Amino acid sequence: MGNETRERIIEAAFRLAAEKPWADITLPAIAEVAGLSLAELAQHVSGKPDILDAFARFMDARLLASLKDDPVEGDAHDRLFDIMLRRFELLAPYKAAIANIAKVPADGPVEWLALLASALVTQNWMLAAADIRLSGAKGNIAKLGLTKIQSDTLRVWLKDDDSGLARTMAALDRKLRDGEALMKRLETPIALCSGLARVFRSLREERTSSKTQAHDRAD
């Protein structure tokens, strides 16, 4: 029942967003369209940013489910390209709503940070779906980069009226290749920073251990 209700809330919010600016949509209005009281709405979402996060997780789940019957193939670039393009295809029914939401998706730094956190979760699943395994600083930089690529490509997609998404595909391919080139240039600096971090962590642990041993001897 919980998931069904959250989906009703998402559908209600995006139905309203297709008709008016996201900033003008109130929680009572979303509750009314979803057939819920405001108290019932509050049991499932904490606010409008939470609704956007729920929508992102809903789309993540649909994208991952599609892999069962239609797995991605090819090299890492091709797999990631297919995954990201597939997400835009799944977003098609919500295009009008997304166009309005994208104009002003958040109000204030707290909501913007919440959106960024949600986007990073999505990129984590995108990488997993494409079977690309990155960790540490390199993984974090890759997720931030993919968030920027998705955001930039989204602007192209919103204006792309071609059923084959030719402009979207071209933009996505170009931005991914630019990102891959940047990641290669960053490999050495990332490795150096990671190495220094390990050295400092080791020194800190040794210093802590020495202090503990000295304290034990004093006792």
pLDDT one-digit tens code per residue, 123-168: 999 999 999 998 887 888 899 999 999 999 999 999 999 999 999 9
What does the pLDDT read at residue 203? Answer: 58
Tell me the percentage of the chain whose pLDDT exceeds 90. Answer: 70
Domain count, the chain: 1
Residue type at 110? V
Q: Does 201 score more than 70 pLDDT? A: no
157: in domain: yes
| 15 belongs to a structural domain | no
5 part of a folded domain: no
The CA distance from 151 to 172, in Å, is 10
Query: 179 versus 212: which is more confidently predicted?
Result: 179
pLDDT at 204: 67
- Confidence band of 104 (pLDDT split at 50, 70, 90): confident
On whether residue 6 sits in a domain, the answer given is no
> Does 36 reside within a domain?
no
Please report the pLDDT score of residue 58 as a whole number. 95
Which tens digits make up the pLDDT trace of 14-34?
999 999 999 999 999 999 999
Q: What is the distance between the alpha carbons of residues 72 and 147, in angstroms, rounded to a whole number?
A: 20
The reply to whether 171 falls in a domain is: yes
CATH number at residue 167: 1.10.357
Does some domain include residue 32?
no
- Distance between CA atoms of residues 91 and 96, nearest Å: 10
Phi, psi of 203 (to 5 degrees): -65, -40
Mean confidence (pLDDT) of the chain: 87
Q: Is the per-residue pLDDT at 1 higher than 50? A: no
The average pLDDT across 184-193 equals: 56
Q: Please name the helix (run of DSSP H) or strand (run of DSSP E) that holds residue 198, with its range, or none.
A: helix 166-218
How confident is residue 94, by pLDDT bands cut at 50, 70 and 90?
Answer: very high
Question: Are residues 71 and 148 in contact, defined by beta-carbon separation less than 8 angstroms?
Answer: no
- Longest Cα–Cα distance of the chain, Å, equals 77
Distance of CA 155 to CAs 7, 101, 103, 189, 198, Å? 25, 12, 10, 31, 40
| Domain-embedded: residue 38 | no
Residue length of the chain: 219
* 110 pLDDT higher than 60: yes
Q: Is the pLDDT of residue 196 over 60?
A: no
Provide the pLDDT for residue 213.
Answer: 58
Q: Which domain holds residue 171?
A: 48-218
